[in-house]
Structure 1
């Protein structure tokens, strides 16, 4: 069987160098019909032979909570928040193959590429069948009833790690990939004068160009332009006190989003006071997670707009 992960040179932003995995041909002899796919596979991972693609979606930069644990008793998930290029593809299973056989082949492909299996559950380990829809509500995964299972893995590439989540149910399966490369920056101009005017007029302003490491509150070097703009705004208003407020979209665990947004706001405060000379008595950092969206969370453009850092005039 041609390995699920194959070498390619993908064009465009977020492109990753891929890799080849050869699995034993004895695993499966089925071939993909020539007319099977109007929807392309992801360049980094091919479909299980005989599967029919039904839907593909994604974005060049997305936040995705990767499920890394299931708590059947409480019907809750453990997850890690990832950011990067996101792709999700749904497939119909070949009729003569079991869900566990399909899941096992994908798992072996990840391991064969030198990848790490982060988490795996099968059948009842994934939770009770009556609660299968909670997978979809959590991060858009397919529903996982008592048949099949789920595996999450991580494969290192030259341009960064690729996280792979595969859920296999009785009749269909889904592959989600998060290529955790750096998003392209330097595309947004930060004008301190215009932002300061908006702050004066509205009492709050979102500052573009504030970037963090994936799933962390660590500011990247690309954020220095935005941080300098904030310092300039505050230097021009020496009597003004502000709240630095972190926002997320609604994707993933609510508690994690609240904590991460708060930690990121405080990281901005620490950078402004420690590196840019802003008086610490003028700043407080707070996170409100997904509680104050500026756009609809139903689509990717809205979710991107909701992930932001704002300055808010404090009394």
Structure 2
């Protein structure tokens, strides 16, 4: 109960930015990504007719996540004090839902979520809300993986028209690294903002921040090349999965070439099917995690 009540202090100042939020002592900020000028599709309704209704807003976009020792607290117990604070600060709640009413899996993968491990979303146990206050807009996403709770705040504030368009900044918080830092440190990185359903090879419309970052990285490092490697879950036989994973990698390669202007000879696409899982395929969450595309750094 003490942990739940301590959330009442989470949003103190009316004009506070995401990085200034007062969190309870049990909370740890996991990540913070700041785009001084970017766009965000703010969900305004539940998944229906194949889409999540959204309002596109532009400005300074702050994407911040926290891990909280929630114990047996429900997602509503985590979200409710945050919602009360938003109301006290003058925000209007324009949309709110729980996992079932949001649209479950379809809503989760139809809206923007900070990539794992910085944000965890249980498909059947999350809550979401969108709020506005004048030209300020934000969304809150809350989920659980007991004994921990996870909170994601995406906030968009207007940028003065006279301000020059700055570069996107990806900041590390508490030792977490951005995808380019991981790519250079480890030689490979999972592109966590991409998603493919079982058996599907088409890449969504995006935009995908990972692809923008990779394109900029290649532009700044002309001697570097990338291999895109597709992976699947273990549904079906190996030959079919290798074909699917290759097509997924090719879809990402095509997007980098056609949308981001990357030279075709700088990227190759391969697929290995289900031969390199990063977690068990015994759960739907595990199968989702294993369906991925990784970027491999080629420096020679």
Give the TM-score of the pair, scaled to structure 2. Answer: 0.46
Query: Considering only CA atoms, is the larger Rg found in Structure 1 or Structure 2?
Result: 1
Q: Which structure exhibits the higher relative contact order, with contacts defined as CA atoms closer than 8 Å and separated by 6 or more residues?
A: 2
Give the TM-score of the pair, scaled to structure 1. Answer: 0.44
